[in-house]
Amino acid sequence: MAKKKPDTLPESVAGVTFKTLARQIVLFQVKGEERFGRVCTEPVKTVCKCAARGLLLVSDEIYPVCHELSPDQVKVVRELPWNAENPLNLHRHSALKAAMKASDRVNGFGPGRLFNVACGDGAAWYVVTKVTPRTVAVAWRGYHCDHWRDPVLDWGGVFPRPVIERLVGCHEDLRRIFGDRQKGGSNK
């Protein structure tokens, strides 16, 4: 049997044809919580290492993490309608509402404060994770269906405190002006 090149995607993972799962939206559970994700096709080396152990690499739709899951731990969600009743959109909206409630409980400027930055035809969402006198750490969240990321903040990181304070201030000013529309509600 010829040795397979390490940089090509696997034919199957634990008896399941990989092509039927690649890039599919899947439903899975993490610590009892139902989540949506996509079966990853890259980085190819990581995908192949997981496949060699009978696992799929699944990127979480909300958090910037990947999970190594066996094929029997995921359920493929087929043909989701792109409307407000789509289970994935409902999941994102529910997660956003919960994050907004948690953010509203944060006193002042601190960890847990949620904000967004306008990007493309949507918004890139971030949460403050750590604050020091000079810097602020932020992490990206996938609350928008297009997974927009700000070109500077990208997946998140540590930034000068005045920069993030201004972004959070702008977000909160827009919430005061426009109300629920900034909370992920509909414009109806």
Q: Are residues 68 and 110 in the same domain?
A: no
Residue 18 lies in a domain: yes
Q: Are residues 161 and 98 in the same domain?
A: yes
Q: Are residues 149 and 96 in the same domain?
A: yes
Q: Give the phi and the psi of residue 125 in degrees, each rounded to 5.
A: -100, 140
Residue by residue, DSSP assigns 1-21 as: -PPPPTTS--SEETTEEHHHH
Q: How many angstroms separate the CA atoms of 11 and 79, rounded?
A: 23
Query: Which residues have CB under 8 Å from 55's CB, separation 6+?
Result: 13, 14, 68, 69, 70
Q: How many angstroms separate the CA atoms of 127 and 103, rounded?
A: 9
Residue 64 lies in a domain: yes
Residue 103 lies in a domain: yes
Place of tokens 């899947």: 26
Final residue of a structural domain among 23, 56, 76? 76
Q: How many angstroms separate the CA atoms of 50 and 27, rounded?
A: 19
Q: How many angstroms separate the CA atoms of 184 and 77, rounded?
A: 23
Residue 173 lies in a domain: yes
Give the range of the structural domain holding residue 65, as residue numbers without chain letter: 12-76
Task: Please state whether the predicted TM-score (pTM) of the whole model is above 0.85.
Answer: no
Residue 1 lies in a domain: no
Q: Are residues 33 and 106 in the same domain?
A: no
Number of domains in the chain: 2
- Summarised one tens digit per residue, pLDDT across range 58-117 is 999 999 999 999 888 988 876 666 677 788 888 888 999 999 999 999 998 999 999 999
Q: Are residues 66 and 92 in the same domain?
A: no
Residue 188 lies in a domain: no
Confidence of residue 184 (pLDDT cuts 50, 70, 90): very low
Average pLDDT over residues 30-44: 87
Q: Are residues 69 and 97 in the same domain?
A: no
Place of tokens 């000079």: 134
Q: Are residues 48 and 67 in the same domain?
A: yes
